[in-house]
Amino acid sequence: MRRPYWIAVGTVAALFVVDRLTRSLALARPSRDLIGSVLRSEPTTNVGVAFGIPVPGPAMFAVLAVLILAVGAFGWTAFRKQQRLAWWASVLVFTGATSNLLDRLHYGYVRDFLHLAFWPTTANLGDWMITVGAILLLVSSLRPPPRET
């Protein structure tokens, strides 16, 4: 049985809204501990890409947009084929990347605020969605394809 499309659209929308709201709320407040000294809210800006690597220029936005659309198309295909792990993975990557791209287009940088004591950089929920989604995509690619019934 096929799942209704509103589940896919609603999931992306909900994750997107949570990511955007947490960025705005965190950056409106000063740095503070969230979970002891393990997780802190440390608002900062990131003009680079992952781990602060410098952005190569305006052409990067076009490349990012194409990659985001490709992940979205892959996710939609996985959704229609009911490949749940691949679908969730692509939803996470698509949503996180779209939110980060929106920051870049609107502010010229990405708004980061989550700092883990054992992690070298500060990130946001979108960054973690991309990271977890990429790991899930790798895992789903290593699994055998589902049997046709």
**How far is residue 135's CA from residue 142's CA, in Å, rounded to a whole number?**
11
How does strand 32-35 pair with strand 122-123?
unpaired
What is the count of structural domains for the chain?
1
**Is 114 a member of any domain?**
yes
**Is 109 a member of any domain?**
yes
Mean pLDDT of 3-32: 87
Least confident span in 7-11, 35-39, 54-58, 80-84: 54-58
**Is 41 a member of any domain?**
yes
| Per-residue confidence (pLDDT) for residue 1, from 0 to 100 | 44
Answer with the residue of higher pLDDT: 79 or 140: 140
pTM higher than 0.95: no
Tens-digit pLDDT profile for residues 117-127: 998 888 999 99
**Is 93 a member of any domain?**
yes
**Is 60 a member of any domain?**
yes
User: Diameter of the chain by CA atoms?
Assistant: 55
Residues with catalytic roles: 112, 127
**Is 14 a member of any domain?**
yes
- At a CB cut-off of 8 Å and minimum separation 6, what does 15 contact? 91, 92, 95, 129
Domain region containing 74: 5-142
**Is 148 a member of any domain?**
no
Q: Which of 132, 111, 134, 135 is nearest to 123 (CA)?
A: 111
**Is 149 a member of any domain?**
no
